[in-house]
Structure 1
Amino acid sequence: MNENLLEFHDEAQFLWLQRCYAVKAPNYSPAQFTDLDEQLAAQLDGLRNEAESAWKVCMPSLDAGGAEEFFVASVLAIDTPSWWSTVLERSVQLPEVFSGVASALGWMGSSRLADVTRHLLGTTNGRIQALGIAACAMHRQDPGPALKTWLSAASGVARLRALRAAGELGRMDLLPELQAALEDPQPETRYWAAWSAVLLGDRGAACHALRQLALKPGRRQQQALQAFILASDWQQGHELLAELEGLPGASRLRIIGAGCTGNARYAPWLLEQMGRPETARIAGESFVLITGVDYNAEQLEAMPPEGHEDGPSDDPEDENVEVPEDVALPWLNVERTKAWWAEHRSRFAPDHRSFLGASPDEQHCRHVLRTGSQRQRWLAAQLWCLSVPGSPLFPTAAPAWRQQRLMQAWPA
């Protein structure tokens, strides 16, 4: 077997997994994200240059592979009907690989997807339909009236993806269907219905649904908390954070929520949380999210506390093998950060939302989308939609070159 192809194949899988992390990471700038996408594209080009042989490398992993194997195989197979049929058939049997196939559809240029997407949307299999809806949404191409039909389905993955797509595409006409789904017994359905409805301007029932999800442990608790606070005024956000106190995991959620409020009243409390090793880095991120302080330029970054270790230890008997969530965030020097705040606090009006040091209007959100970290860009995309309901959500997970084209079209 061609060793170069094996290397291309394995490296492409690794880079795609790295990309999945990078999409909402706090430590990837637009330039770093572009570099990652260029590396991934180079590996995929190496496979496509010898497509027949490369497909033979991909085939064995389709029986029980992960999403990363299916991403690579899908990119390779999408222009060859027999290969593509094989990928779809196997993916239906392995629900956990959906993200890999969907990601491949988002990766490809839209000009190559018209016939593929039409076929996906025209099938009767819900998982395959969901791939078609995902392809349309990721390319911000409206599938038209059919989206309403999927929103009205009783259940299933196609309905979930349609609920999300309605918000991503800015489909104001679908707000009644989204609001009807707020009463669904499934939390996942309620979350996507509420998230999209809020982007489309609902500050009543949809915000209430997000608030309820934020108060209960679950898969979407943190996302619901952030979406509610971004869409709400300062007092509503403060009341939710107060109600969270005492609940499991509340300390972390309240710190994250404080950053999303954009209210400088939280700055002194966040500085206190930066003094505790277990909350120091996430509190620093929330402080930056409000103030916009450039911790590199201001020389606020510090070394980790003495004895602190990130990730699994060297002890073979240590069962904790998880990498900490905050590993990519910097440690800030608390005393220097307090001094910076004392000097600059007068710039921040009480009870006025500040996002990275400025009002989150359309112009500032565009600035963050051009310059911020991936996590900041994701928040900026949502704030832009919240301020202009019906706007398509900027696709911060799209291939870097597609994002650059969209930004180049903006006014100077």
Structure 2
Amino acid sequence: MSLYALDHVIAQHAEEAAFLWLLRDGAVVAPHYSLLDLTRLDTRVEAHLDGLCIAGEAGWAACSEQLEYREPGEVFVAAVLALESGEAARIRRVYEVVGAAPETQRGLVSAFGWVDRAWWRGEVRDLLVADSPFWRRLGLAAGSAQRVDPGRSLLAALEASDAALRATALRVAARLGRTDLLPAVQAQLTSDDEAVRFSAAWAATLLGDRGAAPRAAMAFVDADHPRFAAPALRVALRALPPNEGQSWLGHFAGRPQTLRHAVVAGGILGDPVHVPWLLEQMRIAEFARVAGESFTMITGVDLAYEDLEGEWPEGFEAGPTEHPEDDNVALDADEELSWPEAALVADWWGHHQAAFQAGQRYLLGHPLTPEHLRWGLCQGMQRQREAAALERKLLSPGEPLFETRARGNVQQQWLGLHTKNV
């Protein structure tokens, strides 16, 4: 093979690894990826990373060159190679790019979560004591990605003057199950900074607060906050008493700007009493697909597998259109969800509703027992798996939050699985 051909192959490894990581970055929150799907995608990423590693200096040169694009995927690939090499110059090169383009930081954090922690202990330790709050935030996030408790650095970050650092520390405390820090987390519920207030409400709820914290989180949903409403809803509604949750659903359903939150809330609450209303929403094109997802969250029925899908409604447009005067540039949030055929779903429900008890919460067709939540983590799709992880965390606030974004093979190890058994 000529030198040119070899360089071309190495460059392809770098490009494909970055592209597949970008695909993975979306897959971890997608409604159509399972743990097995994620594991297979991770295997493809690892194959290209192995090719770059085997190429030695030429592999690093290709990664370093692609860092000029300043994109998260390229940062991820270069960071994995740099961390696994242990070479200070390579790591410094990645840090320089991330420092100049902070929007790429999730690629670096993902790399810390990808490589074996033995490779990066010293690096994270150095980040945690950096002068810059930005790098200390990255250190906290990097350690949290592999369930590494930062110890005193976390305590210091909770008391930092930098709001972004405090917000990160709050979320890390919850992910690690640091219930001993609940009072310090609750103290931030009245912060002047909205990101800190949200993080405190989200974290305190997961750490066991069933009073002020979930209600503070619901305030973000009530205001339809563009950034915090959805994650606040997913956590807080699960922690509130069922009757209060139903009141929130009715409240959201009564306002056009929060109607989508009500549809999502039906699936979160998991009470089959809401199924008839969800069936009605399936007849409204704008909410049909997310109503179908909520129906599946409760019943566990796969709309595609059970032939309960319909066709894209004629004349309906979602996400960006081809009209030059249309200012809507938001992607279709429900792109990968099934289109439910409302009449067929209603017929299915008529034949199966006797198996469900009103007033009982269900996830994927079963009550929320620890055994079933583990099953959901093994067999569910990514959004369903996140729901199972949150429910399990709320049952055991002192345990780490199961990370459904971690490498597939690592998640399998946590669940005691082998690939062939997933």
Instruction: Note whether the superposition's TM-score is higher than 0.5.
Output: yes
Indicate the residue corresponding to 1:354 in structure 2.
362
Alignment partners' CA distance in 2, 1:204 and 1:320: 39
CA contact (8 A) 2:163 2:196 kept: no
Q: Take 1:138 and 1:232, find their aligned partners in 2: how far apart are those partners?
A: 28
Please give the TM-score of this superposition, normalised by the length of structure 2: 0.92
Distance 1:248 1:216 in 2: 12
C-alpha RMSD of matched pairs (Å)? 2.1
C-alpha separation in 1, matches of 2:58 and 2:279: 57
Q: How far 1:390 moved relative to its partner? A: 0.7
- Any idea what SS the aligned residue of 1:391 has? coil
Distance 1:274 1:325, change over 3 A: same
The change in CA–CA distance for 1:156 and 1:56 in structure 2 (over 3 A counts) is farther
The yes-or-no answer on 1:390 pairing with 2:395 is: no
Cα distance, 1:223 vs structure 2: 1.2
Shift in alpha-carbon separation, 1:247–1:303, aligned structure 2, 3 A: closer
Partner of residue 189 from structure 1, selected from 183, 192, 196 = 196
Distance 1:75 1:343 in 2: 52
Q: What is the rounded CA distance, in whole Å, between the counterparts of 1:330 and 1:364 in structure 2?
A: 24
Name the SS of the counterpart of 2:223 in structure 1. Answer: coil
Residue 96 of structure 2 aligns with which residue?
Answer: 89
TM-score with structure 1 setting the length: 0.94
CA–CA distance in 1 between the matches of 2:338 and 2:255? 27
CA distance in 1, matches of 2:32, 2:206: 26
Alignment partner, residue 34 of structure 1: 39
Q: Which residue of 2 aligns with 1:101?
A: 108
Q: What is the distance in 2 between the residues matched to 1:276 and 1:169?
A: 41
Kept after mapping to 1: 8 A contact 2:377/2:389? yes
Separation in 1 of the partners of 2:145 and 2:357?
38
Deviation of 1:65 after TM superposition, in Å, equals: 0.9
Task: Note the alpha carbon deviations across 1:354-398, whole angstroms, 9 max, x for none.
Answer: 111111121111000000001100110010010112111111100
Q: Aligned partners of 1:312, 1:103: CA distance in 2, in Å?
A: 29
Range with bigger deviation, 235-244 or 276-285: 235-244
Mapping of residues 236-315 of structure 1, within 5 Å:
236-245=244-253, 247=255, 249-306=257-314
How is 1:194-233 mapped onto 2 (pairs within 5 angstroms)?
194-218=201-225, 219-233=227-241
Question: Are 1:11 and 2:29 matched, yes or no?
Answer: no
Query: Where does residue 184 of structure 2 map in the other structure?
Result: 177
**Residue among 142, 165, 180 paired with 1:135:** 142
User: In structure 2, what residue type is equivalent to 1:379?
Assistant: A
Gaps of 5+ in 2: none
Letter in 1 for 2:150: P
Structure 2: distance between partners of 1:111 and 1:191: 33
Q: Distance in 1 between matches of 2:174 and 2:8?
A: 45
In structure 2, relative to structure 1, the CA distance for the partners of 1:297 and 1:95 (3 Å cut) is closer
After the TM superposition, which of the residue ranges 284-293 and 107-116 deviates more from structure 2? 107-116
Counterpart AA for 1:201: G
Residue 49 of structure 2 aligns with which residue? 44
Measure, in 2, the Cα distance between the counterparts of 1:207 and 1:317: 41
Are residue 332 (structure 1) and residue 340 (structure 2) matched?
yes
Q: Which amino acid is 2:289 matched to?
A: R
| Other-structure match for 2:30 | 25
1:234 aligned onto 2:242:
yes
Unpaired runs of at least 5, structure 1: none
Q: CA deviation at 1:170?
A: 0.4
Match of 1:74, as an amino acid? A
Query: Structure 1 residues 247, 268: closer, same or farther in 2, change over 3 A?
Result: closer
Question: Could you report, residue by residue, the CA deviation over 1:329-363 in whole angstroms, capped at 9, with x for unpaired residues?
Answer: 01122112111111221222222211111111211
Q: Distance in 2 between matches of 1:154 and 1:245?
A: 39
Cα distance in 2, alignment partners of residues 41 and 64 from structure 1: 21
